[in-house]
Structure 1
């Protein structure tokens, strides 16, 4: 607590300087504090309260109650033993009178011990109530003091501690002996997909934490000269719509948000051809996405800025009718999920004919694009948080807790085999993962998780 208080106090100074020349000779500087004076009295109050709490609650006082309880228990056992002896050996004369006097003295000592125990319990309850009130007061004052932390020293320190704990947990997992992998479905030339490792990279998107929905990655089939380029789509309108793509020439320029270029699909947002939902992918220098307010897949050509589309079946759900999600949250406007793998582009959706279960279709490249082969599965879409494709196999994830996601389902488009027994863990950096997609070129799984951009390594047998 002391280091946090010092950080707040240090970061609280936020000043501006204004200078002007007087009579063409002398320069006068005016110093203005934009945030008002720092409340030192509140800081001292927190210091004093914390110091008093440390002095009031000491280990001897915390263990005194246990000691009294143990002592009382032993005295009662001793009294019970004395009564048993008296019953067996009472001669009705002098011995009985002496024994009764001893028992009387023991009862007096027990009553005294009980009174002391009651006083201790009362004191501890008062101390607990007083400490609780002081902690509430300190918490309130600390929140007010943090508003002066313009440089966000405290929040960054808190994030560093969280990352250290996460690194320590990762180290423990690395030292543990992993169970032997089980054979998974699939037809990858690099072997069977069996596990996930990572996160490999983890960074906040350039638009900040106010935009939790988005998508990003690298084009699996890039145009000449764009092999190292990264693309980013952030839903900047109500966390539902977007009308442009941001491009970065390399990973380093994306990390520091330097030199981005923009490809505008439309001039306004939302409108015809606007991106709806976060599940978009780049393939062959074109963006594939759910077109605004329609059950159709749009294809935006980055080079000539043209948009073409292919409709899904008339019974397909769209416009937030069948989103991904879990018991505590729904990932809005995720009715259509676009995915890439070694063979091209796929679209995952639902239809009323398939009772809300997942339908998988190939997206055939062309102008306009069209739907190719289609498969119906038994996976109910609302039971999953995300889907992605690897080597012609559909994988689905579900929410486990705030630290873990699990790949639990697969559908093999070659053998038509469905499995619900996959237990591949994904270690999360944030609570929710709004977007997942596999890139066959670098074999990474790209995720957009509560405004953070994350990648994971795919492991093969």
Structure 2
């Protein structure tokens, strides 16, 4: 049945393109058709390449498989939640019992003490088992993201080559499993990463494989320059909002807003702002914070912001900043805006620093520079950079498929260090890479594709003691 539908779809589209010659007259040698020597023929020229139904079926089968695996993972999450509640109760009861023993050691005999020790060991064993299960779920998520990335590539290729309407039904299945995975990861994060917004860690220790959402809203790989992500300090009722802006060159012409991840995937924006000619920007290291776009302008050379609540525009010239030094992938990335748990930042290089990168803290109400820190990293050798908890991280390309975080600078201690935290790219080039403190993810605009990464931090006892949670 599916094969017949595809054949009919192809035949109808072929007719629409004029590839079927309808009834034509010809000279019959045998004098048929009433003896008048004419006959009617119908020539149908089908495409030289048939529709790749095997690819479509494979994508559909993959979508069903992912959906089934996600249902299993959602069931595990419910089990995890029950176990966590049970473990927490046992730990509380044990804590109370141990406190009693410490206050009145003479009231307990050796047998009772041994019972408590056994119960402690049982709880430890249960926690180790739970940790193993959690790691197993994380591995499953990574595997599912790889399968979805393959689906994205297949569907994008088919949409470019064949009728989009024919591919649409399968894309709906892809959207369904993508949303299931997003919800499953969200619940997993709520259960096992309650430290969103906290800086009780000593830094990034691992980055996930690239998580590919899909090709941009323009459905065009020519829109290589741009960015996407979430508001780093969302206003009320817009906590789930996503934004996207891109162009065929390093220019900022417009921006689209989506109420949630589902509408981003469906390309169903609820706001579309076109920047007035005098407000347009350049470069691709812009961000959205507090419903305000922060970005670079060239006339005059400086930084600008546009508040979408009030539609008020403002700009500032940073006299020290140089227009000569940019990131490795683009010649127009002089100002790099970043936001983290501690506030708003802008990163640039100066003539005075010889092209080495300078970190500057922005006072949000006045839109002025509060303080600066100079690093030892030469900006043209860096692919991109971002801030996390007041710590600057610089990224460089190491091979055809991979990058690494190779340097960090702590603005609190003014200490710098060289590190190595590798991660993969989905496509060759990227022009926007930013951390978002609301979900502790990295967002990358990778040659026209929406890509993001999960981060793992070094949550040590020392970090928890020395670094209390910071608020935005």
Scaled to the shorter chain, the TM-score interval is 0.5 to 0.7
Partners of 1:201 and 1:456 within 8 A in 2: no
Hey, what's the Cα distance between the residues in 2 that align with 1:399 and 1:13? 48
Q: 1:150 to 1:188 in 2, by over 3 A?
A: same
Alpha-carbon offset, residue 16 of structure 1:
4.6
The answer to whether residue 253 in structure 2 is matched with residue 254 in structure 1 is: no
The answer to whether residue 199 in structure 2 is matched with residue 188 in structure 1 is: yes
Partners of 2:212 and 2:426 within 8 A in 1: no
Per-residue displacement from partner, 1:329-365 (whole Å, max 9, x unpaired)?
A: x323111111111111111111100001101101111
Hey, what's the Cα distance between the residues in 2 that align with 1:249 and 1:211? 22
Q: Residue in 1 aligned with 2:150? A: none
Hey, what's the Cα distance between the residues in 2 that align with 1:376 and 1:292? 23
Q: Residue in 1 aligned with 2:415? A: 417
Q: Residue in 1 aligned with 2:226? A: 214
Per-residue displacement from partner, 1:244-293 (whole Å, max 9, x unpaired)?
A: 22100010000011143112331x3xxx2212111101111111110243
SS at 2:434 equivalent: strand
SS at 2:262 equivalent: helix
SS at 2:284 equivalent: coil
Hey, what's the Cα distance between the residues in 2 that align with 1:264 and 1:363? 26
TM-score between the two structures when normalised by the length of structure 1: 0.58
Superposition pairs for residues 112-131 of structure 1, below 5 Å? none
Runs of 4+ off more than 4 Å? 10-13, 146-149
Superposition pairs for residues 101-250 of structure 1, below 5 Å? 149-151=161-163, 188-190=199-201, 192-207=203-218, 208-234=220-246, 236=247, 238-250=248-260
Per-residue displacement from partner, 1:282-323 (whole Å, max 9, x unpaired)?
A: 11111111024333111111111111122212x4222xx322
Hey, what's the Cα distance between the residues in 1 that align with 2:408 and 2:159? 48
Q: Residue in 2 aligned with 1:298? A: 304
Q: Residue in 1 aligned with 2:374? A: 376
Q: Residue in 1 aligned with 2:429? A: 432
Partners of 1:274 and 1:292 within 8 A in 2: no
Aligned mate of 2:438, from 438, 441, 452: 441
Alpha-carbon offset, residue 407 of structure 1:
0.7
Higher helix share: 2
The answer to whether residue 322 in structure 2 is matched with residue 322 in structure 1 is: no
The answer to whether residue 392 in structure 2 is matched with residue 394 in structure 1 is: yes
Q: 1:15 to 1:353 in 2, by over 3 A?
A: same
Partners of 1:265 and 1:300 within 8 A in 2: no
SS at 2:396 equivalent: strand
Q: Residue in 2 aligned with 1:77? A: none
Alpha-carbon offset, residue 379 of structure 1:
0.5
Aligned mate of 1:281, from 287, 297, 305: 287
SS at 1:14 equivalent: helix
Hey, what's the Cα distance between the residues in 2 that align with 1:198 and 1:147? 25
Hey, what's the Cα distance between the residues in 1 that align with 2:421 and 2:332? 26
Hey, what's the Cα distance between the residues in 1 that align with 2:298 and 2:291? 21
Partners of 1:310 and 1:371 within 8 A in 2: no
Partners of 1:12 and 1:149 within 8 A in 2: no
Hey, what's the Cα distance between the residues in 2 that align with 1:377 and 1:409? 10
Q: Residue in 2 aligned with 1:333? A: 332
Q: Residue in 1 aligned with 2:122? A: none
Contiguous gaps of at least 5 residues in structure 2: 1-5, 24-43, 51-157, 169-197, 459-472
Hey, what's the Cα distance between the residues in 2 that align with 1:262 and 1:203? 20
Contiguous gaps of at least 5 residues in structure 1: 1-6, 19-29, 44-145, 157-186
SS at 1:15 equivalent: helix
SS at 2:232 equivalent: coil
Superposition pairs for residues 44-83 of structure 1, below 5 Å? none
Alpha-carbon offset, residue 214 of structure 1:
0.6
CA RMSD of aligned residues (A): 3.2
The answer to whether residue 311 in structure 2 is matched with residue 308 in structure 1 is: no
SS at 1:223 equivalent: coil
Q: 1:398 to 1:364 in 2, by over 3 A?
A: same
Per-residue displacement from partner, 1:178-202 (whole Å, max 9, x unpaired)?
A: xxxxxxxxx9225532111132343
SS at 2:380 equivalent: helix
Partners of 1:12 and 1:150 within 8 A in 2: no
Alpha-carbon offset, residue 240 of structure 1:
1.9
Partners of 2:14 and 2:46 within 8 A in 1: no
Q: Residue in 1 aligned with 2:401? A: 403
Matched pairs, number = 292
Alpha-carbon offset, residue 148 of structure 1:
11
Hey, what's the Cα distance between the residues in 2 that align with 1:12 and 1:290? 50
Partners of 1:38 and 1:148 within 8 A in 2: no
Hey, what's the Cα distance between the residues in 2 that align with 1:148 and 1:323? 34
